[in-house]
């Protein structure tokens, strides 16, 4: 951070020196205007970086290029620990916007179209809620699929990146990894539908693990596309697994669906 500040100060002073040499008053005032605008931008971007804990991504970093679809600050994510349950045969793996964006404490509902606010003020994604209900019912381990770099907090920008990556067939690298996939015989996979199919980070999860011989229950959060083609896509990625429909949950009816999700899981645990 100190290095960044010094570089910015040097750039600022070079620009100011350039102004001093300029004889035209009009040009001078234009340049001053530019400098004051860019100074404001610098202050804004520094404060937003300080609110988050990660490193700024090199935007030209090739495979990690999330920002080619929209302009935002992608941060290196810190992986969350697996939440251990008391049933070591069941894994509840989920991808959610929540946990994959650099959300700060003061996020508001404006930029959080698919995030819900809990009574205690915490934000929670649709898939996160569903995964927590399933973990409560099964006692399974709860695992957040986390990408190496954060997605935009702003919903419209998130859509641009998520859809862009799907069109490009880009499966982002993950920063969270399971040590022992062999121990599980049942996997509840909870994911949002992105661009009428499985969200690309969920595809990265399916690329990484061989789920042969396991039963996968698919739970798709969506805004109307239901499962789209996700069951077929999961079965293609895991041809030796048994892939079954769980519940598709429209995010607008999330809480109305809670008992349906819990009952489905209870029924299939018998």
Ligand X SMILES: Cc1cc2nc3c(=O)[nH]c(=O)nc-3n(C[C@H](O)[C@H](O)[C@H](O)COP(=O)(O)O)c2cc1C
Residues binding ligand X (CB under 6 A): 96-97, 114, 125-128, 158-159, 162-163, 192-196, 221-225, 251
The nearer residue to ligand X, 35 or 124, going by C-beta atoms, is 124
Nearer to ligand X, 140 or 162 (CB): 162
Nearest distance, CB of residue 161 and ligand X, angstroms: 7
- Helical segments of the chain, H only: 2-21, 25-51, 126-138, 155-168, 200-208, 230-237, 254-269
Q: Which is nearer to ligand X, 213 or 224 (CB)?
A: 224
Task: Tell me how far, at minimum, the Cβ of 125 lies from ligand X, in Å.
Answer: 3
CA geometry: angle 50, 55, 56, nearest 5 deg: 90
Find out whether 188 and 140 touch, Cβ atoms under 8 Å: yes
| Of 72 and 194, CB closest to ligand X | 194
Q: What is the DSSP letter of 70?
A: S
CB of 243 vs ligand X, minimal distance in Å: 19
Tell me whether residue 27 or residue 264 sits nearer to ligand X (CB atom).
Answer: 264
Residue number closest to ligand X, CB atom: 162
The helix (H) or strand (E) run that includes residue 100 is none
Nearer to ligand X, 125 or 172 (CB): 125
Cβ(237)–Cβ(264) below 8 Å: no
Strands 141-144, 90-94: pairing is: parallel
- Cβ 224 to ligand X, closest distance in Å? 4
Q: How far is the CB of 225 from ligand X (least distance, A)?
A: 3
The nearer residue to ligand X, 64 or 157, going by C-beta atoms, is: 157
Angle between helices 200-208 and 155-168 (to 10 degrees): 50
Give pairs for 65-72: CB < 8 Å, separation 24+. Answer: 66/149, 66/151, 66/161, 66/165, 66/172, 68/164, 69/160, 69/161, 69/163, 69/164, 69/165, 70/152, 70/157, 70/160, 70/161, 72/152, 72/153, 72/154, 72/157
Shortest Å, Cβ 192 to ligand X: 4
Provide, rounded to whole angstroms, the least separation between the CB of residue 84 and ligand X.
22
């Amino acid at each position: 951070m100190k290095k960044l500040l010094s570089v910015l100060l040097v750039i600022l002073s070079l620009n100011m020196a350039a102004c001093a040499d300029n004889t035209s008053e009009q040009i001078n005032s234009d340049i001053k205007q530019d400098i004051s605008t860019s100074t404001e931008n610098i202050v804004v971007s520094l404060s937003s970086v300080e609110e988050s804990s990660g490193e700024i991504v090199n935007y030209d970093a090739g495979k990690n290029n999330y920002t080619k679809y929209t302009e935002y600050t992608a941060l290196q994510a810190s992986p969350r620990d697996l939440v251990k349950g008391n049933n070591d045969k069941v894994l509840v793996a989920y991808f959610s916007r929540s946990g994959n964006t650099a959300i700060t404490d003061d996020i508001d509902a404006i930029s959080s179209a698919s995030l819900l606010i809990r009574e205690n003020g915490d934000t929670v994604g649709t898939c996160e809620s569903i995964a927590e209900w399933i973990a409560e019912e099964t006692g399974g381990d709860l695992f957040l699929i986390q990408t190496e770099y954060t997605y935009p907090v702003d919903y419209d920008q998130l859509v641009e990146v998520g859809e862009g990556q799907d069109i490009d067939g880009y499966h982002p690298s993950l920063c969270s990894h399971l040590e022992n996939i062999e121990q599980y015989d049942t996997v509840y996979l909870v994911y949002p539908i992105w661009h009428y199919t499985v969200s690309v980070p969920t595809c990265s999860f399916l690329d990484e693990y061989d789920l042969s011989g396991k039963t996968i229950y698919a739970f798709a959060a969506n805004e109307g596309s239901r499962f789209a083609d996700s069951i077929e896509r999961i079965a293609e990625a895991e041809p030796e697994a048994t892939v079954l429909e769980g519940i598709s949950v429209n995010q607008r009816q999330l809480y109305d669906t809670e008992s349906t999700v819990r009952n489905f899981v209870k029924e299939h645990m018998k």
